[in-house]
Structure 1
Amino acid sequence: MKSLEKIAFFLLPLSALISELTFVPNRILILLCLSWVIFRDKRIINYVSKKKWLILIVVFYLIFILFSNKFLSNEAILLLTIPVYLLLYGSSSLEQFYLKKYFILATVTYSIILIASKTISIASFGFSNFLAKKYWWNEILYKNLTATLHGHPTYIAMFITAAIIMMLNNQASSKKYFTSTQRVLVLTTLLSVLLLLVVKISYLTLGVVMLFYIITLFRKNRRKEAWISLCILILTGIAVFNLSGVKQRLLNDISYFGAKEVQTDDQNRINERAALWQSSTHFIKENPIIGSSFQGRSSKESIYPLAKKLYPPLEYAKNSHNNYLEFGVRYGLPGALVFLFFIFMYLKVGVKNRSFEIIGIAVLICLFSLTESFMFREQGISFVAIFTAILGKQVYGKYI
């Protein structure tokens, strides 16, 4: 049964990564794992029988929401992902060491599949024809890389950045996930794909985490490793900044922040995001307590009119692309405060346990939340649920 359990916890994050392509493997795997956990552990059945009236009330309440407010019902179903993953990982007989290792392996596997699928796609048109294009390298960056698997670059970058944080944390451990050669291959694969994804917030996150890692090394008197890491960070930063497709986007963003107002004549992603953020902020000011979900309408529809006015090139309704604002738009200021409290608890647990890993993941959630509303997407909520479950198991033991 151990072997089956290992396979399951390798496939769970992998199925979450491919959920943008199809939900089916993830749903089937969760259902099978959940059924096995419930029937294997009698304590869960006993708990349900003791709390049956409370559970019935919750079920009836969810049914009421389902038929009375489709937006709240969709969000409630999505958020159920968190307790499900907590139950699956928390009741696993595997040590958190193996749960982390299989998460990394799943992320590496997906990265290899991503590169392979893009290579096959290019080969089908002919490598010579592909290389004959003037700016052929732009065809393997950002969304062009993930198009074959319908992946979202930012969410994939989240998983990869988290895997790298885990690898860095494991460096100081006596029990390694992989051999020296394997570690080099794993890190090379992850960093290469992260570089090709051109997700700027992932570069910033990794830079902040690396600085914290270097400080940690200095505090532990591992000065040689610290100086080597610092040199690698500086050289990598210079190389990344000078890559075509990265430098221009960064300069555009910098020029935006130096401008006094949104540049409506320039179809730049940062201008679009600025309009969405301004519109979201305005909506929250107008509806500080009762958000759009309680009003029976989507967050996209709520912020679109003003966002379109601020940024005319905006073609269709989009969400806030910011977790803090998205919680505020959907649930009012109380919702935004709940999300902030969640991040605060992550940081508090990390600092209390002096865990570089937990603090690193908290920093990742904080920074990625500035540019994406990932708590309302399947991949994003699965990522947070998996890590909350793994790190919770690490801190609190078998049952979370």
Structure 2
Amino acid sequence: METIFNSSKNALPKSKRPVTNPKTLVFLAVAVLLTTPLNYAFGSITVILFTLYALFTAKKEDFSFNIALFMPVALFLLMVASLIWSIDFKSTLKALSKEIPLLIIPVVFFVIRLWPKQQKDILKFYSWGMFTYALFYVIRAVIKYFETGDTNVFFYHELVTKDVNAIYVSVFMSVALFYFVAKRTKRKFDYLALAFLFVFIFLLSSKNILLTDILLIILYFLFWSPVSKKTKWTFAVVFATAIVIAGYFSKIKERVEVEFKPDTEQAVQDMGTRAITIAQAWNSETFSQNDYFNGTSFRVYQIRIFTEMIQEDPVFFQGYGLNASLVKVKEKGDEHNVFKGNETHRGYNGLNFHNQYVEVFADLGLFGFLILITMMLLNLKNGLSNKDFVHIAFAILMIALFLTESFLWRQRGVVFFTLLYCLFNKELYSSVIEKEKR
């Protein structure tokens, strides 16, 4: 990699090489993050600009290898290699274009010099940008409410559109929330942004993300906050109580009831004649076209068919190929007769695993799974070593999110994760200087 880098740099006359402007680098990194909720074209353009600027202004002495940053590259290289054995070559080849950020973003961080102030500025401007997004979404919902009188415009996908996805926006907003929570010196506007972002995440009604955020906020005040122990425990109790009360009277209650009481009258009325329980999802040989899976039972069904696929096909080590397992998922859907879809609803057999750990195992086998686990553990380890709450919170949030979403198999997810992962795990330049002095 260093040889390639040196060759490309030598192609430019030394006197003509531009000098890296830290502010421009920060601006472009923030632009990449803030365009993730927008149309994919905007995200692609900002990633290209960020990459080109970093590569053409980098210096040889700034190059540094980092094992944590190499792991996304290794995952991408395995994706490319899976073309060799993929059972659906066209799908694998098409999916690779979405996964390129796993390669180019770490390369950018290999060749740039990153100071602590730059890292903090990226997080600061990103967090205020997310606050602006949240404000925009709420104002738009208010306008829709006065037009329709429908309170659903304030919740879940209706609040941010199904295309952008409430779960993904919850993740974007959560990182901004952690920045404001961890900020030592808070002004009035910081408290306002913190409260507003938390309420916004609450409205998005993503159970997994919301519960993870609540746990992390409580942990922050118990172990990182500078206030007295009595105040910490008082806050933890009051905060947890308030959340339980608020949850009881909100849309969260309805969504939790659908998960744990899938046979509720509303679920049956909306989705089918029979709501499938967790036990039925794991044990039933066949289903009917009127059967409804809630989020939990559907994920149990998917894990169940994954175990069947691994037992039936010799793909334990290499997987089916990037994005190729969907072929087998559809076959399993036909075998078990799950809902195949109609004019208004997509069939269950057309959905991926909605679990990043299972998804990567099915597509890339044991080796892909081990790379992913190594990435997650290194991310958490480095956060704990640096005693950086925002980094730790990001690491835990990703671990939890990957249990319910194939986040890295979506363009928004892979760009967002890879840039923040590299930002947090890149060795800051001040640390390099300290090591050299020793």
CA offset digits 1:16-72 (Å, max 9, x no partner): 222xxx22222222222222222222428999xxxxxxxxxxxx9999987994444
Pair 3,95 (structure 1): closer, same or farther in 2 beyond 3 Å: closer
Change (3 A) 1:310 1:360: farther
How far has the Cα of 1:383 moved from its partner? 1.9
Q: Counterpart in 2 of 1:51?
A: none
Residue 261 (structure 1) aligns with: 280
CA distance in 2, matches of 1:285, 1:63: 25
1:8 deviation in Å? 2.4
Is 2:141 the counterpart of 1:104?
Answer: no
**CA shift at 1:325, angstroms?**
0.4
- Displacement of 1:360 in angstroms is 1.5
Distance 2:336 2:306 in 1: 12
Q: Does 1:39 align with 2:53?
A: no
Name structure 1 gaps, 5 residues minimum.
48-59
Q: Partner of 1:205 in structure 2?
A: 212
| 1:24-35 alignment runs, 5 A limit | 24-35=41-52
2:394 paired with 1:371: no
TM-score computed with the length of structure 1 as normaliser: 0.79
CA contact (8 A) 1:38 1:44 kept: no
C-alpha distance in 1 between matches for 2:206 and 2:408:
18
* Cα distance in 2, alignment partners of residues 189 and 238 from structure 1: 18
* Aligned residue type for 2:257: L
Cα distance, 1:205 vs. partner? Answer: 0.9
Distance in 1 of aligned mates of 2:409 and 2:123: 24
Using the TM superposition, give the Cα deviation of residue 293 of structure 1 relative to its aligned residue in structure 2, in angstroms: 0.8
CA contact (8 A) 2:34 2:130 kept: yes
Task: Determine the structure 1 residue equivalent to 2:418.
Answer: 385
Deviations, residues 172-224 of structure 1 (Å, cap 9, x unaligned): x3xx4xx5211122113312221221111111211221232233048974542
The alignment status of 1:12 with 2:26, answered yes or no, reads no
Q: C-alpha distance in 1, partners of 2:192/2:228?
A: 27
2:318 aligned residue: 290
Further displaced range: 89-98 or 366-375: 89-98
**Which residue in the other structure is 1:139 paired with?**
153
Shift of 1:337: 2.0
State the 1:348 CA deviation: 1.8
Once the two structures are superposed, residues 343-379 of structure 1 have per-residue CA deviations (whole angstroms, 9 ceiling, x without a partner) of 1112222233333322211211111111100011111
Give a deviation string over 1:321-354, Cα, whole Å, max 9, x none. Answer: 0011001110122222221121111222223333
Is 209-218 or 188-197 further displaced after alignment? 209-218
TM-score (norm 2): 0.73
Does the 8 Å CA contact 1:10/1:105 hold for their aligned counterparts? no
What does residue range 93-242 of structure 1 map to in structure 2 within 5 Å? 95-120=118-143, 122=144, 127=146, 130-131=148-149, 136-147=150-161, 150-170=163-183, 173=184, 176=185, 179-217=186-224, 221-242=228-249
Q: What percent identity do the matched residue pairs reach? A: 18
Q: CA deviation at 1:306?
A: 2.0
As a proportion of its length, which structure holds more helix?
A: 1
**Contact conserved, 1:100 with 1:390, CA < 8 A, in 2?**
no
User: What are the residue-to-residue correspondences of 1:349-364 with 2, within 5 Å?
Assistant: 349-364=382-397
Please give the secondary structure, in 2, of the residue aligned with 1:277: helix
CA distance in 2, matches of 1:359, 1:100: 14
Quick one: distance in 1 between partners of 2:142 and 2:357?
A: 38
Deviation larger for 154-163 or 74-83: 74-83
Q: Give, in whole Å, the separation in 2 of the partners of 1:166 and 1:276.
A: 35
Which residue is 1:305 aligned to?
331
Q: Contact 2:175 / 2:394 at 8 angstroms: preserved in 1?
A: yes
Cα-Cα RMSD: 3.4
* Cα distance in 1 for residues equivalent to 2:84 and 2:367: 24
Opposite residue 159 of structure 1, the aligned amino acid is F
Q: Is the 8 A contact 1:108 1:186 kept in 2?
A: yes
Give the Cα separation in 1 of the matches to 2:213 and 2:375.
21
Determine if contact 2:32/2:50 at 8 Å carries over to the other structure.
no
Conservation of the 8 A alpha-carbon contact between 2:82 and 2:321:
no
| CA 104–63 in structure 1, closer or farther in 2 if over 3 Å, else same | closer
| Paired positions, count | 366
Q: Separation in 2 of the partners of 1:371 and 1:220?
A: 35
